[in-house]
Structure 1
């Protein structure tokens, strides 16, 4: 019997020059890719440590990348290829492939821990949507009991309006929602100084 919702982790392969491109000026192409790999490992480890339902790593563009295979072996998780389309289409597809309530996270939030996932799972038992906002105006986690295409279609992703627009859509759809406290993610060079040194010391300023 499942101990809680499934967890979907969306991540990109740590390919130099294609991963964490906004951090390349600070870290170089190989350094930015190495940070992407470390962040993905952190997200998967947190998902597994939460002790909830099955964990699936949704990989792009190539699930065969060695770093993904290593995580699958080490953590005994599922591996799947992300769908085509924008971020909303890929997120919706991950929810649609799940078998019930699901928490979806990315790999940009080193502050996300297993306890956040457990609290989100608890909130999802009483609400149809759960969010962990990001300080930059997006969100680092969205949990749904079932897919709602209206939350993802025609969204301008990567902007500081994503959270506000998502809240409007939740209200328009008449869904009950709960938000946990905001967390920060790593998108820009100035974010590197906030990385916890015990886990990300090689990348922190």
Structure 2
């Protein structure tokens, strides 16, 4: 029996450029502070991903500035793969990353540090027995999706950035009779209160 291909994990990240990264945090942190907060989240998510699956199975898909020092720092420190994101909306970028891999693959953003090593391991394990795995978000979206095959309808004409993303995705899954695992629920960092929530959780762990 051939060995099962390993699950790969693909992270989508913007370069932390002031005024272009986590803009909804600017009223709270300012352009520079929001960019620094974004960089902090990217570092956290890459560390979590490598801890969960091993750096050899992690790819960081970059945008805005593919040569940004943050990306080079993470590649040098962890040994992860860097790749340039596909142009287009969220669905096109996620689908392109998933299709780039041989075997089962998962994609997540880098603004969701609530996703833990344990959650990633749960998702990786679940993906060995079901076609699709999703980590729903509290705001009606999702923070991670994993698949074995290409399912275009899961990514086309989705109302990205709204509270209907998960509902519409569930409808598409049902239409194709795709068994899906939802191992846990996460939350991402969009607004100042989300950033404060994460900071409080970090202090609580110390």
Structure 2 residue 11 is matched with structure 1 residue 13: no
In structure 2, the partner of 1:179 is 182
Matched, 1:88 2:91: yes
C-alpha change, 1:2 and 1:44, in structure 2 (3 Å) is farther
**Residue of structure 2 in register with 1:34 after alignment:** 36
Q: Could you tell me which of 163, 172, 182 is aligned with 1:160? A: 163
Extract unaligned runs of 5+ from structure 2.
none
Deviation of residue 189 (structure 1)? 1.2
Following TM superposition, the consecutive aligned residue runs of length 4 or more in structure 1 with deviations greater than 2 angstroms are 1-4, 196-201
- Deviation, 1:196, is 3.8
Alpha-carbon spacing, 1:20–1:200, altered in 2? closer, same or farther (3 Å): farther
- CA RMSD in angstroms comes to 1.7
TM-score scaled to structure 1, two decimals? 0.93
Mind listing any 5+ residue stretches in structure 1 that lack a counterpart? none
Which stretch shows the higher mean deviation, 186-195 or 161-170? 186-195
Local SS of the residue matching 1:103: strand
TM-score, scaled to structure 2 = 0.92
- Correspondence list, 1:16-165, <5 A: 16-51=18-53, 54-165=57-168
Structure 2 equivalent of residue 191 of structure 1: 194
Deviation at 1:84, TM superposition (A): 0.5
Task: Identify if the C-alpha distance between structure 1 residues 131 and 198 changes in structure 2 by more than 3 Å, giving closer, same or farther.
Answer: closer
SS in 2 for 1:40: helix
Asked if the contact 2:5–2:104 (Cα under 8 Å) also holds between the matched residues in 1, the reply is no
Q: 1:112 to 1:11 in 2, by over 3 A?
A: same
1:121-161 CA distances to partner (integer Å, 9 max, x unpaired)? 11111110001100000001101112211100111100000
Decide whether the 8 Å contact of 1:62 with 1:81 is kept in 2.
no
